[in-house]
Chain A
Amino acid sequence: MNLNIEFYASLMKYLPPGKSRFRREVKVDDDITLSRLISQFHISEAEAHLVLVNGHFVNCGEDRAQRKLTEGDTVSIWPPVAGG
């Protein structure tokens, strides 16, 4: 199935080649979980600090391991960042 991935800040280096600044459409296994998707792109657990699926947070650990993805989902990932 096709998914949209968005990697930001220092995680941009893990994006496959493509035109858009942060976004890629990628083909993945139909039964892929969120944590498998993250490791497939070589992003470590510590680096995947903020993870959103369609704009909603998914906590690290079990929630990500359990979380199934569906066609067309957008997964956005940030390393530990802050501002203010």
Chain B
Amino acid sequence: MSWTRKILRVDLSKGSCKSEPLNMEWAKLYLGQRGLASKYLSEEVDPKCDALGPDNKMIMATGPLTGTMASTGGRYSVITKGPLTGAIACSNSGGFFGAELKYAGWDMIIFEGKSDKPVYLLVQDDKAELRSAEHLWGKTAWATDDSIHATHQDPQMRVACIGRTAENGCLYAAIMNDRHRAAGRSGVGTVMASKNLKAVAVRGTQGIGNVDDAEAFASATNDGKAVLAENAVTGQGLPAYGTQVLMNVINGVGGLPARNMRDVGFEGAEHISAEAMAEPRKSDGKPNLTTNGACFGCTIACGRISTVDPTHFSVKDKPQYQGSSGGLEYEAAWSLGADTGIDDLDAITYVNFLCNEDGMDPISYGATVAAAMEMFEDGVITTKETGGIELRFGDAKAFVALTEQFVSGGAFSADLGMGSKRLTEKYGKPDLSMTVKGQEFPAYDPRGIQGIGLNYATSNRGACHLRGYTIASEVLGIPVKTELNDTDGKAELVKAFQDATALVDSAGLCIFTTFAWGMDNIAPQIDAACEGDWSVENCLETGERIWNMERLFNEAAGFTADDDKLPKRLLEEAIKHGPTKGQVSRLGEMLPKYYEARGWTADGKIPDETRQRLSL
């Protein structure tokens, strides 16, 4: 089925699980996954509620193409009010969990209330029940996944769960599924922990039926797969090198931030790049990269499976970390590497394993550590706060020790778990937080690349490259090359990327398809699968509607145009050397044009006529 037309509503306070029909009027306006679940959240949750209180809800949602034969059609998202930002949060994940949820017959699960005791939800097709998770509380995400599989003896069961960092209140905890895949950003895992919900285990055997026009769908998805296979990026570049191929590119063009964005350009970039991951190492002749991997139904397979050098200090005496596991993606390699000034590939691969094992967002974690490192070097914090660790940029041993201390809830973990905004405020250095709306930046410097700064500033979930990946155009020339340092046309570019992404995130597809697919490849797949009109125009308008709805949620939560801003460092401290030397972000030139392009008022409000145009 494209939509199963069924929602599972789990009231954790009462311990009940009930089935209800999907609101098809909303489905026609918001499609699925990100869009449709955000509509439910907007209707059912007070945007001013405490993100970690029982009044917040958490929705796990699939899209209409999740579980189908469409390439990359395995995605699901977690939608909630985020504790890191206080804004609407939507974190998207691949792997196999989303497709399994669909096979069990559900479009989404809405969790509400709070359980008295730790529980996990077991879904086996139509049957859903809450079970005690007291024996799982305190376990890592990997141990939880293993334990649930051992209990149910079903290797096909898919598990999404939280690790210890979520239980400890880390505000950027992730929900891990299939061990290495994460609904990673904005602290959706922390919301799950606040509800005493440790895991969701799903087994579905109902398959997919009821595609609106099966023949047209087979034809549209086959055409789509041919485009992905023939495209040099999705057919060759991503499977061979993964996202990590960007490390040298972004460094080369003068857009790679380093050391808490104090610098732009990292001299150690090549040692932590995709090319370095593929090189045989001296100790055992094997490369860091073991193989690539794919999520459900994906014909691109950009995933990285890696091993750490078994003789490396981080894993030498820890055989459990010497096997292969989820490897470095570009954003994690940047935050754990360049942003901390560390060029030790094995050390950051190991830290990335720990982020997966205990469920935390490596972008926010690395960037928060980077802010702490800057404060340590400036003498604002000392070994008294860090539990005896000399927290200096570039020190891999210190970083590994800190991370081991952090995941087990040791010294300094409460501070680091706040994220860089609250951490730097606590120590009186708020300007050292590299965040928007409280969420840490990913791996592109807005001083070197102008459009991405506008996207960060206006992103509904706080700083995020995946809300509108203008890097595709500004650096990679997809679909057309725009100049990095130009601000002209960037307002329209950002809007177009943001709206198209909102649609893709609501369909069940992976955003990486858009390196090859345009809306003219995507819309026919949705149109064939779903009833109603899913023309290119309607798809784009749906994306715009979703973006505006998210903005309305944030507005009601108390956000204003004043939150569409970048840290002072990026507006005032010019890049010191390299091809982008002398540049700062010129956000002020772009923001008014962006509001205008969106049909908003000069102070960033959505006027009635724009609401009416978008049926909001």
Q: What residues make up the interface of A, taking CB atoms closer than 8 Å to B? A: 6, 8-10, 12, 21-22, 46, 49-50, 52, 54-57, 59, 76, 78-84
Contacts and interface: CB of A to CB of B under 8 A. Distances in A.
B291 interface: no
B478 A82 contact: yes
Contacts of B279: 21
Contact of A56 (B240, B248, B579): B579
A84 B270 contact: no
22 contacts: A9-B237, A10-B241, A21-B270, A55-B252, A55-B578, A57-B481, A78-B245, A80-B231, A80-B232, A80-B236, A81-B238, A81-B241, A81-B249, A82-B238, A82-B243, A82-B245, A82-B472, A82-B515, A83-B246, A84-B330, A84-B469, A84-B512
B233 A81 contact: yes
A18 to B, nearest CB: 14
A6 B274 CA distance: 15
Interface string B217-257: 00000000000000111001110111111101100111000
A10 B580 CA distance: 26
Most chain-A CB neighbours within 10 Å: which of B244, B275, B330, B511?
B275
Nearest to B466: A84
A22 B276 CA distance: 10
Contacts of A84: 243, 246, 330-331, 465-466, 469, 471-472, 511-512
Contacts of A49: 232, 477
Contacts of B302: 83
Contacts of B248: 8, 22, 78
B574 interface: no
Contact of B249 (A50, A54, A56, A59): A50
Contact of A76 (B252, B331, B469, B481): B252
Given A50-B249, A50-B477, A82-B246, 15 more contacts: A9-B245, A49-B477, A55-B254, A56-B579, A57-B481, A59-B481, A80-B232, A81-B233, A81-B476, A82-B233, A82-B512, A83-B329, A84-B331, A84-B471, A84-B512
A49 B472 CA distance: 13
Interface of B: 231-233, 236-238, 240-246, 248-249, 252-254, 270, 274-276, 279, 302, 329-331, 465-466, 469, 471-472, 475-478, 481, 484, 511-512, 515, 578-580
Main secondary structure of the interface of A (DSSP, over half): loop
Contacts of A46: 232
A22 B471 CA distance: 23
B249 to A, nearest CB: 6
The prevalent SS among residues of B at the interface is helix
Nearest to B478: A82
B377 to A, nearest CB: 28
A10 to B, nearest CB: 7
Nearest to A59: B481
Contacts of B270: 21-22
Contacts of A22: 248, 270, 275
Contacts of B481: 57, 59
A81 B466 contact: no
Nearest to A10: B240
A21 B279 CA distance: 10
A59 to B, nearest CB: 7
Given A9-B275, A80-B233, A84-B512, A57 B244 contact: no
B237 A57 contact: no
A50 B477 CA distance: 8
A5 B330 CA distance: 24
3 closest A-B pairs by beta carbon, nearest first, are A55-B579, A83-B243, A80-B232
A82 B249 CA distance: 9
Contacts of A55: 252-254, 578-580
Contacts of B241: 9-10, 81
Contact of B252 (A10, A52, A59, A79): A52
A9 B240 contact: yes
